[in-house]
Structure 1
Amino acid sequence: MSPRPPWRLAGALAFTLALLAGCGSSTASTGAAGSEGAAQTRVFKADNGDIAIPADPKRVIATGYAVPVLIEAGASLAGISTWQRGVPLMTDADRATYEKLTKVAGETAAETNYEAIAAAKPDLIVIGVPKPVLADVDMKRLASIAPTIHIGPTVPDAWRELSRRQSDAAGRLSYFEAEKAAYEKKAGELTGKYRDALKGLKFGHVGSYGDVAKGTFQREYARSWGTNIAQDIGVTYYGEVKEKGGGSKDVAEYSAIEELPDSLGEADVITYSVQPDGTPNAAIKHVLESKLWASLPAVKAGKAFPLRYTEAATYRSATQTLDAIDQALAPLVKP
């Protein structure tokens, strides 16, 4: 999902999963047929192939996008990578779990501690990093420790399917369905609330990963980090990238600040990403302080709104994003 910070580039029960795309099917036990206490396995369709994994894993290692998902799911985690950018989106209970878990890798794929992973004695390793950085992970070495599956992100809005597959691998699909249902209920309520207010409006979004030194801003289109959750309540983001480059480059691009009028001049409403505490980072400040920003029709009309929690990559955290979107867009609803 390039270009992003480290780990982005440097998101039915177990035996009925054959009915779901991407899930594995149960197989024979790893012990002798019929032997009491033998661990049962199933074949899981991972990004790195069909891998035999425990049907009920007891000691799971998670990295990258798999970290917040499996913490929320209550998976039997034996170790995780750090995931600092996701900490502000965690509940107090999830954050406490995150803090106490053994860290076996850092913020980049290259910071994988193989000795620490082996010492944790896992029965399953879930690698949740983008494919482009998988080259920084010694998958053969990990596979020699325990069954290792890669389930990594592609385009930003793929966190929905990504989190489903990761929950499935850890034997926690029932959790996933409950969180998904709660999210969809909330999204449905907000869709009804904003249906009339959003009718016919064209939205644009400014992302938080522009490069101030290079004088660029990030324009995000539909299915990107700052847009995909708002789309679930009926927001329409217009336009598309000039040249698709795969992954996140299909839904976001970087342009010179001078191009703000051409990029967002047609927007009826503009949203922009802010940090969890509601403050803009340096890249967003660079845009907001520009005279060109002040000249945009949407800004002049008082229809530029900050969005928090645009980094959400699980249904639980995305429910917080829905609340933030509701708060931001409330001025569009007539009293």
Structure 2
Amino acid sequence: MKKLFLLPLILLVLAVSACSNSAQQNNTSANTARTLEASGNATASDHTKDTITYQSEDGPIEVPAHPQRVVVLAGFAGNVMQLGVPLAGVTSWEKGNPRFAEALKDVESVSDEDLEKIIELEPDLIIGLSIAKNIDKLKTIAPTITYTYGKLDFLAQHLEIGKALNKEQEAQAWIDNFKSRASKAGEEIKAKIGPDATVSVIESSMKELYVFGDNWGRGTEILYQQMGLNMPEKVKESALKDGYYALSVEVLPQYAGDYLIFSKDPDADNSFQNTDIYKNLPAVKNNRVFEANAKVFYFNDALTLDYQLDFFIEHFLGK
């Protein structure tokens, strides 16, 4: 089976960068260098009058104690919004999240290559991934914090962002509440569907399907880590280690659990749902397929996790 590199946050950064126009990059590179030298450091210093020291994975860094214009170059916008901190720029992926549309309507779409645009936004803090481009240049614009994807679990990641935003107590309070709600819901779901029932999470993309492990967004962290629901053995064998696995429709019955969570991309080829193979799945026959919009379900930020938890409570328990 063909495997595809689908790391949600890394894909987010790479996809946004790949979509940048190469000609525009060439035309703006010289201007960017001059702008960084002339105004970048001044922009950063304007926002460091009231600071805290954050212990980043690269060492201590001075960041604003009360950031007001954060640029997020990875999938963390929902974490920042959940903590009530204003955003100035986010990636196009997050701008494309239907649930974030209203909150981000006045927030600019940027990538790690849009240096001049980021300068114009006058950020007081930049948050991204360690694989982002132009990190050294970004650091001359504003204090820049990067995270290595997968180094922290999804809850620890929210706590770290809370620390970086001087909102550690608020982040921990959300984590405690979320864990309590997820645990309670998990017990109720297991009592309803039975302790041995299995759940699979799939997603359509181009001509392939993907099944997911326990740490790849799409609600997998909640279902498997927090609620302790069962993963089909075939999924454990194929997707647990790498986080995902690409498969054809023909073998889908081997990976489909008693319940099926379908993260459905409305722009993808979903014709497999018209096949006899899909229609004859026990989950389909028993009306145990729960469809979610993939553009909402991709992420595992705090706001999306709240949405996913509510989604599972509604569909499994009817609440």
Residue number in structure 1 paired with 2:314: 327
Residue number in structure 1 paired with 2:222: 229
2:146 to 146, 150, 162: 150
Kindly report which structure 2 residues correspond to 1:241-256, keeping only aligned pairs within 5 A, or say none: 250-256=242-248
Q: 1:205 to 1:66 in 2, by over 3 A?
A: closer
How many residues get paired? 275
Calculate percent identity across the aligned residue pairs: 17
* Cα distance in structure 2, aligned partners of 1:146 and 1:303: 49
Residue number in structure 1 paired with 2:104: 98
CA RMSD of aligned residues (A): 3.2
- Aligned-partner SS, 1:260: helix
- Aligned-partner SS, 2:104: helix
Residue number in structure 1 paired with 2:62: 53
* Cα distance in structure 2, aligned partners of 1:282 and 1:4: 18
For structure 1, list consecutive stretches of 5 or more residues without a partner in the other structure: 11-36
The alignment status of 1:181 with 2:176, answered yes or no, reads yes
Higher helix residue share: 2
The amino acid that maps onto 2:255 is S
Q: Is the 8 A contact 2:213 2:236 kept in 1?
A: yes
Q: 1:270 to 1:67 in 2, by over 3 A?
A: closer
Residue number in structure 2 paired with 1:23: none
The amino acid that maps onto 2:110 is A
Residue number in structure 1 paired with 2:277: 292
Residue number in structure 2 paired with 1:115: 116
* Cα distance in structure 1, aligned partners of 2:5 and 2:200: 21
Kindly report which structure 2 residues correspond to 1:166-245, keeping only aligned pairs within 5 A, or say none: 166-197=161-192, 198-208=194-204, 210-212=205-207, 216-226=208-218, 227-231=220-224, 232-239=226-233, 240=235
- Aligned-partner SS, 1:144: helix
* Cα distance in structure 2, aligned partners of 1:320 and 1:122: 28
Shift of 1:252: 0.8
- Give the TM-score of the pair, scaled to structure 1: 0.69
Shift of 1:56: 0.7
Q: 1:86 to 1:238 in 2, by over 3 A?
A: farther
* Cα distance in structure 1, aligned partners of 2:76 and 2:283: 38
The alignment status of 1:262 with 2:254, answered yes or no, reads yes
* Cα distance in structure 2, aligned partners of 1:288 and 1:54: 49
Q: Is the 8 A contact 1:207 1:272 kept in 2?
A: yes
* Cα distance in structure 2, aligned partners of 1:77 and 1:293: 42
Shift of 1:164: 2.0
Shift of 1:141: 0.9
The amino acid that maps onto 1:288 is Q
The alignment status of 1:164 with 2:149, answered yes or no, reads no
Q: 1:119 to 1:51 in 2, by over 3 A?
A: farther
* Cα distance in structure 1, aligned partners of 2:84 and 2:144: 20
* Cα distance in structure 2, aligned partners of 1:191 and 1:273: 20
Q: 1:42 to 1:188 in 2, by over 3 A?
A: same
* Cα distance in structure 2, aligned partners of 1:96 and 1:218: 30
Q: Alpha-carbon deviations, 1:264-293, whole Å to 9, x = none?
A: 3xx333222236xxxx5534x233212111
* Cα distance in structure 1, aligned partners of 2:203 and 2:187: 27
Kindly report which structure 2 residues correspond to 1:46-85, keeping only aligned pairs within 5 A, or say none: 46=57, 49-54=58-63, 56-58=65-67, 59-84=69-94
- Give the TM-score of the pair, scaled to structure 2: 0.72
- Aligned-partner SS, 1:99: coil
Shift of 1:55: 5.5
Q: Alpha-carbon deviations, 1:77-133, whole Å to 9, x = none?
A: 44444444663234xxxx5442223x2614xx4xx3212322344343211x4x5x5
Q: Is the 8 A contact 1:273 1:310 kept in 2?
A: yes
- Aligned-partner SS, 1:171: coil
Shift of 1:199: 0.7
* Cα distance in structure 1, aligned partners of 2:311 and 2:217: 14
The amino acid that maps onto 2:254 is D
Q: Is the 8 A contact 1:217 1:287 kept in 2?
A: no
Q: 1:294 to 1:166 in 2, by over 3 A?
A: same
The amino acid that maps onto 2:307 is Q
The amino acid that maps onto 1:282 is A
Q: Is the 8 A contact 1:75 1:171 kept in 2?
A: no
